[in-house]
Structure 1
């Protein structure tokens, strides 16, 4: 179980790096966002986070802090939806059907929520 937990944790951190790294790399842009790495990272984080939560419940007597993990899950799902919206708006902007800044608030919100999730994980 320890090896599985370690693999899931490493993959979870790789997903985190994909989300926040991609966000920070593009944060100063006004348009032309590449959201693929953010979406992939968020999906990896959701899957591995659920796996880690299951392992915590299965291997510890006290179980996990379900309130904290529930809050983190909701934030991650909202961030994923925002990333999908940013991707769709960016595709429309690239096709000339929307303003070039159409994806900006959704992109920034998804990245900010990912950072909030890290803060919750560390501080709570």
Structure 2
């Protein structure tokens, strides 16, 4: 079970990199934002995060339910923000309407990292 947990952690970190990497790469762009990788990363983060909690509970490791609830809410908000950025971009690629959603998704992903690391 430890091997499964460690593989989930690797996938979780890779999902995070698929959100924050494209965000930091494209942050200076005002139009033509590409959210496909961020979408994949947000889904990966959500699925692997839930799986990690399940594995921890199955192996009787402690789970801070309050921290997990906060991280889950933030992860869902990231997913919604990425989705909205993609919809706004698809509606009009030359418009700046996707920019606030794009920035929100990136900022919330970074907030989720801060919560994960600093909440003890």
Q: Same fold (TM over 0.5)?
A: yes
Per-residue displacement from partner, 1:31-58 (whole Å, max 9, x unpaired)? 1110000010010010000000011111
Instruction: In structure 2, list runs of 5 or more residues that go unmatched.
Output: none
Distance in 2, Cα, partners of 1:56 & 1:2: 10
Per-residue displacement from partner, 1:45-78 (whole Å, max 9, x unpaired)? 10000000011111125x3001000000000101
Instruction: In structure 1, list runs of 5 or more residues that go unmatched.
Output: none
Q: How does 1:105-116 map to 2 (within 5 A)?
A: 105-116=100-111
Runs (4 or more) in structure 1 with deviation over 2 Å come to none
What RMSD, in angstroms, separates the aligned Cα atoms of the two structures? Answer: 1.0
User: How many residues of Structure 1 are paired with residues of Structure 2 in the alignment?
Assistant: 119
Q: Which residue matches 1:13?
A: 13
Q: Which residue matches 1:43?
A: 43
Scaled by the length of structure 2, the TM-score of the pair is 0.96
